[in-house]
Every structure is written in C-alpha cells, then in structure tokens.
Amino acid sequence: MENQPPSIHTIENLLTQISAINKKYESIAEITGENFNIFRILRRETREVETHSAFIAELLNPKGSHGMKDAFLKLFVKQFEVKNTPTNQDDLLRTEIKMEEVTNNGRIDIVIKFRNRLKVVIENKIYADDQGQQLVRYCKDYPGCHLFYLTLFGINPSHGSITWKDDERINLKDKEWYKDATYNKERNEHTLVEGIHFFKISYQKNILEWLELCQKEAATKPLLRETIAQYIYLIKHLTHQTMSEVHKNEIIEAIVNNPDYIESAEEVQSNWTSIRFRIIENVMSELSKLEVCKINNLKFETDPDYKVGMAESSFYFFRENWRCCICFEFTTDFEDINYGITNLHNSFVAKQNLYKTLSEKFAKNSLSENWYWVNYFDDWSKTDWRDVNNEIPGKINEKIKEILTVIDSNCIDLSM
C-alpha cells in the first residue's frame, strides 16, 4: 500500500506544538533582554558606512578606542589568510585604517595600509548594488592589493563590476593590476578572477567568526565585550541566524520523537515557498487600494516578467504621465526589498539632471546603478511572516507618501 499523506489534523498538531515552543522562547528572550539591541533600536542596522564599515574599521585600527592595540587586526589577518603582512609588532601598530578613502576612481569603504606597503581593500555591501566597473577601478587604484568583496551571504559581484572592454579607455600602462584577467575575444571583454584579483567573504560566516574571536579576546573588558556581542547579534539578525541552538534542538526533538510529525514537517517545508507566494499575493491585492493611491491618482502594477517575491521581481506606483516610477524590488527571494525611483517599464537610461535633483532633495540619498534614488525597505525584513498582511500595506503607504512629499513639494518632474 502506498504511503498516505499526513492528515490535516496531524499537521495542525505539529504546528501547534512548534508554536508553543516558539512562544516559550519569545518569553525567555524578553526576560533575558535578548531582544534589546542598540543598533536596531537606533535604526542603524543597515547603514553600510555609518554602522558596519565604521565598526569593522574601528576594531581593525591599532589606535582604536577599544584599547586592544593590534589584537583584532592580528585576528583578522589570520582569519582571512592575508599573506605578507608585517610580523613586527611595531610595524603592525603603525598600520593605517582608512574609511571612505577617495581615489581617482571612486570612494573605497575600508583600506588597510600596512607599513610594508601591502594594502587590503574591503568593498562592503549590505544591500546596495554594485557600481559599474567598481572592483576593476579598485584594482587600478591599488595594484596588487588584497581585495575583499564583503556581502551578507558571500554572493558574487555583478558582471559589470568586474569586467571592461578594450575600447573603454581603461589605462593598461600598469600591467600589475590586470595581470591574469581572463579575456573573451568574442565579446572583447576582460574579467577579473576570483581568488586572484578579489576574494568573496560574507558576514554570515567569515565576519561572524572573526567577531566571535574578537569577543573572546576582549573577555576582560566588559563594555567592549558586550558591544561586540551586540554587533554579533545584529549580524545574526541580518543573516537569519538568531534562533538559539537550544530552541532549534527542541523543535527538532519534537519532530524526531513523533514519526507522524516527520512526514508533516516534510509536507509543510515543501509548501513553504507556495505559502510565502500566497501571503505576497494577498499583499499585492491590497496595494492598489491604498489611500495614497486614491488621493494622488497613482496607478499600481506588478512585474510582468517575474513572480513577485522572487529576486529581481518588483511592483511599482506611478502617475499617468510619468516616465519614472516609485519601485519596490526584491533583491533576494522573499527576504529583502529595495525601494526608490527608477525608469518605468523601459531599460534604464540615466538622466543626469534627475540624478542631480534627487541627490539634492533626498537627505539619505544612495545612488546606484539602475536607480535614480534607492533605499533599503527594512520594514519588510523586520516583519514576521505572520504579520505581513496586516502591517506591510500600511508601511508601504507611508513610504510612498514620504517620497511624494519630496517630489511634489520640490516640483520634481518625473514625466521627462
């Protein structure tokens, strides 16, 4: 006889038990203060420069306020296998840490300058998109440097960030920076090579492991130790690793110890993608009814090329005569959304005057490829799936109102 699928009753019992376990650990988190995180409270969790680059750079700095001298820098060099660094402590103590260093080809997030002229460059990406030829330009700025491409989950840099063509006036006089790059004759395209020109690292694993080593090193300095602990928890929150091992194991044991639950867990897991799509569909059905749409004569559309919820899918709002739109785009499947102003329907063709206008009028402007203005929609990542239908439409309504206030009060023309 073929195995019968688990009954709805069995699945309901499993979900009820897991819900009870989750509520227990939510209560424990309240009692222990685990939910208190200064970075999240101050809404600094997604600020690449002001929060993440600043914190990492301060720990790396031998002259930093942490008072640990070169201890954290040594841990970094060992953790990330940076070769040919000085071994003499006096030289290490003179290492320079630069943030937002301006060069002829851009602004670099973090540069570590050792006394022996070795340079380590860190390009820090939380949610921002790559700029055109970004890593190519950094290799030109610092030939032979150790270039780290740091993202939340260790993703690849964009194709446009690591490629260039012979006819793009790239200076090839200094062969050191582009040595060993691959060449595609058919496309007339040079490409930087991972493991030679740059190295991918992640907050999820690499930075987290380094931070945990730093925390142990700071064991005798309570304020420093606990500040690092707060930042570690922030990284775990951003990379979806906050469920404690005890909590996780209790759920696993509840399933493993009841054979009926094992099949039910498989059934729930296999349908989780469909469940999230259905939740998002419900949200989409509410967005055209938003108060801000009715008052401001905004039209609402969803991306015809992707199912909303998948990476690169989007939904957007616009007026009849606009050539641009207020767009919300998933950057990863289901998890992260950017929002801002971009071209409507057509492939992106930059209008420099609009770039300039929006950069002047939006106080927290973050220009990026394919966007005139873009920001991270952190309300989405901070909202539990159980609350998405009730909370997200209202939060989107407020974001659109904020953008329209800037557009209308400054007479910004999005029809050009």
191-202 pLDDT, tens digit each: 999 998 999 999
pLDDT tens track for 20-43: 877 887 787 777 677 777 777 666
Tell me what pLDDT residue 1 has. 38
Tell me what pLDDT residue 112 has. 95
Tell me what pLDDT residue 333 has. 87
Inter-CA distances, 83 with 17, 120, 146, 170, 408, Å: 51, 10, 9, 28, 54
Q: Which helix (DSSP H) or strand (DSSP E) does residue 101 occupy?
A: strand 96-103
Q: Indicate the residue type of 267.
A: E
188 alpha carbon, distance to own chain's centre: 32
pLDDT tens track for 46-62: 777 778 999 999 999 99
User: Which residue has 């909590």 as its token pair?
Assistant: 247
pTM metric for this prediction:
0.64
pLDDT tens track for 367-408: 566 788 888 888 898 888 889 999 999 999 999 998 999 888
pLDDT band at 352 (very low <50, low <70, confident <90, very high): low
pLDDT band at 327 (very low <50, low <70, confident <90, very high): very high
Nearest in space to 355 (alpha carbons), one of 337, 369, 344: 369
Tell me if residue 122 falls in helix, strand or coil: strand
User: Which residue has 């602990």 as its token pair?
Assistant: 229
Highest mean pLDDT among 182-186, 290-294, 380-384: 290-294
Tell me what pLDDT residue 173 has. 54
Chain-wide mean pLDDT for the chain?
84
Q: Give the up-direction half-sphere exposure of residue 411: CA atoms within 13 A in the CB hemisphere.
A: 0
Tell me if residue 273 falls in helix, strand or coil: helix
Residue 127 has pLDDT above 80, yes or no: no
Q: Give the up-direction half-sphere exposure of residue 208: CA atoms within 13 A in the CB hemisphere.
A: 19
Tell me what pLDDT residue 78 has. 93
Tell me what pLDDT residue 364 has. 52
What residues form DSSP beta bridges with 328?
Answer: 315, 339
Tell me what pLDDT residue 287 has. 92
pLDDT band at 329 (very low <50, low <70, confident <90, very high): very high
